Structure 1
Amino acid sequence: MYPARIIPELARQGWQAHGLALEGSWVAESFVEAGITPLTVPSRGRALWRVGRILAYLKVHEIRVLHCHKSSDLRLGALLATLRPELRLFFTDHMGVTRPKKDPYHRWAYGRLTRLFSISETTRARNLRAFPLRPERIRRLYLGIDPSPYVAGLAADERRALRAELGVPEGAVAIGLPGRITPGKGQAVWVEALARLVEARPTLAWHGVLIGGLGAGEGSNEVFVAKLRERVAALGLTERVSFAGFRGDLPRCLAALDIVCVPSRNEAFGLTVIEAMAAARPVVGADSGAIPELLDATAGRLVAPEDPEAWAEALGELAADTAMQHRLGQAGRARVLAAFTLETHIRALVGEYAGEPAA
């Protein structure tokens, strides 16, 4: 959903964006919600048959830049760039590939790229090994967010009501974990850490909040959700852990929490990390993937992703010290404003679109 997120900022900086999407897809709908009517095709295969129509669309609208965000879309992008060599073709790898892509097809497709963007140094290192491109054609470009919805504080009454809605008792430290509820996101280790926190600090008042869809339609693993609920009950944490479900108001929810956890084992970037930091929340994150690039000791704590004892220790330290929570939260928000805003991201992106040398 990245393209629709950046369209308003592209427009604000003077660029006119167009979209190409599958008919009836969420991506097509997101383009419309962002204010543009996309060109649509019934399938990726049919798009190849309609390449003449797409080329005509590019010519009529004087489009000079193509930007793909899925490797399955690059086949069409590379074909268009082959047929119209003046096009500048970009591809963002949002995951970080793990298998080499140096066969004849990939050499042809990726050879048409003006630039490949990696969303972290971690994924760039993987991409350098995987893609048939010279290092200078693979650039790290961090993602960014609009920090304005991530308020550093809520009105007292609003915060109290929202915390109650999330299941947080009065006076408890709210320890949240937002994100898709799937094995790779680390919720299982987090639950084990909370059980150890009870043992280590029996007098500490806290409440855990899982924020994320509970069904497959909302991106979560239903079997894993059920097992997680069973484990919470087995550990005697039913009254101390809430399953809040999907929330469309995540910025407000983050501001209602006291500590935000991101225990994902292999984040390609860590959008939740900078969202929590933008909300001035201290973060406890996994010391793996790209998270250490975003988070340091000035804004939170890094912990081994598979070590519940270490997680319990870090959570206990933060939960018992409100002054530290505030200090780390303010430092995190300042870091986001300095390095991870959507405006900063778009300025770097359009500089590449325009062919400007990297700073």
Structure 2
Amino acid sequence: MNVEPDLVSASDILVVAPNFKRRLSGVTSTIVQLVPEQAKRLPIAALGPGLPAHLPRLRWRDLPLLWRRPAHKPFRIWHARRNVEMLPGIVLRDLLRMPLRLVFTSASQRRHTGYTRWLIDRMDAVIATSARSGAYLIVPHTVIHHGIDLNRFSPYPEGGAGARGELGLDPARQTIGCFGRVRHQKGTDLFVDAMIALLPRRPDWQAVVAGRATAEHVAFETELKRKIAAAGLSDRILFVGEHRDIERWYRALDLFVAPQRWEGFGLTPMEAMSCGVPVVAADVGVFSDVVTDGCGTIVPPDDLPALAAAIEPFLDDEPSRAQAADTALAKSRAEFALAREADEIIAVYESLWAAS
């Protein structure tokens, strides 16, 4: 059955959240989670392809209606998260003279190109997703950490074995996971190598890699599967592909590993912790702010021996692992709520409206 998108009249909306990348990505995931939460507080609509039907949506053909000022504000907000969304905002505001102000959220932790700096300089407000991201900006900005949907990401009531059974995994085996794009940058190879080193001595454990290898990384994934087969572990290190209901896979886990070599922000440790799963993570993105003492372990990036050494105690010490799971869940409930992120972003919008 086809579900009609939740279309919103352009005359009613105050904020447009463009998403001009069809592939599932961390930015897209942020928009999918955040827009419905923001919609509880003000009229907002997403614009672009590849978005789920339940999001409040603006149609392309309704863009000309944005020339009309909203009823109760001096302008609308165009909230971009990529270069490909900043540039159209500049065109709409500066060339077509639509009553818009532009907000950009930066998650990047590297020096921006000259073109990106040119775009950022033309924003009316800039948000950084972490202090590390903000350090690469040369414009005034506000640091707002991402939040997640704590209703969606929550522990499985019947425990991990029940979740594993629903997914077709061996329910009797404890499970360690690594989720995200399958590629070198994400450290998928580090996870696989650690599992090849650790699992042969632990027959009661299995590993799951959830995520998609895009065309340029298929050979990388194929080589990892070859190594797993050579180690005789193809039935215990499983590649399960990309899933939009990823929360079901987190709930099947006893431990989560985030081995990225580089990351702009990184939601996966937060999602795992909110499902009651402790985390071993590389010190990239915002991971060291998220995985604090008692919730798991932080290791240097691109350091396989350190990664394996950090994982090993969690595999062998169930009471310590259970305590870390409880601590991770408590931290997530206290700090990771999506409502907190929505409120802080809306405060940025309100500051622009108040200054007009």
TM exceeds 0.5?
yes
Tell me the distance in 2 between the aligned counterparts of 1:56 and 1:318.
57
**Alpha-carbon offset, residue 333 of structure 1:** 1.9
Change (3 A) 1:321 1:288: same
Map of 1:56 onto structure 2: 67
> Which residue identity lines up with residue 189 of structure 1 in the other structure?
L
**Alpha-carbon offset, residue 245 of structure 1:** 1.9
Map of 2:19 onto structure 1: none
Unaligned runs of 5+ in 2: 1-27
Map of 2:78 onto structure 1: 66
Alignment pair present for 1:95 and 2:105: no
Alignment pair present for 1:290 and 2:286: yes
Map of 1:47 onto structure 2: none
> Which residue identity lines up with residue 34 of structure 2 in the other structure?
I
Q: Deviations over 1:229-252 (max 9, x none)?
A: 011122332232111222332212
Map of 1:184 onto structure 2: 185
Q: How does 1:230-245 map to 2 (within 5 A)?
A: 230-245=226-241
**Alpha-carbon offset, residue 100 of structure 1:** 4.2
> Which residue identity lines up with residue 120 of structure 1 in the other structure?
S
Tell me the distance in 2 between the aligned counterparts of 1:221 and 1:154.
36
Change (3 A) 1:166 1:286: farther
Tell me the distance in 1 between the aligned counterparts of 2:36 and 2:121.
30
Map of 1:116 onto structure 2: 126
Structure 1 stretches of 4+ with a deviation exceeding 4 A read 57-63, 83-86, 164-168
**Alpha-carbon offset, residue 16 of structure 1:** 0.3
Tell me the distance in 2 between the aligned counterparts of 1:283 and 1:351.
32
> Which residue identity lines up with residue 31 of structure 2 in the other structure?
P
Is residue 196–residue 309 contact of structure 1 (8 Å, CA) maintained in 2?
no
> Which residue identity lines up with residue 208 of structure 1 in the other structure?
A
How much identity, in percent, do the aligned residues show? 26
Map of 1:149 onto structure 2: 152
Is residue 55–residue 80 contact of structure 1 (8 Å, CA) maintained in 2?
no
Unaligned runs of 5+ in 1: 42-49
**Alpha-carbon offset, residue 264 of structure 1:** 0.8
Three-state SS of the structure 2 residue aligned to 1:270 is coil
TM-score by length of 2: 0.81
**Alpha-carbon offset, residue 168 of structure 1:** 4.6
Is residue 269–residue 289 contact of structure 1 (8 Å, CA) maintained in 2?
yes
- Greater helix content: 1
Q: Deviations over 1:103-135 (max 9, x none)?
A: 7x954x43332211111122111224xxxx2xx
Aligned residues: 323
Three-state SS of the structure 1 residue aligned to 2:153 is coil
Q: Deviations over 1:56-90 (max 9, x none)?
A: 25557964222112212222323444465974321
Is residue 130–residue 144 contact of structure 2 (8 Å, CA) maintained in 1?
yes
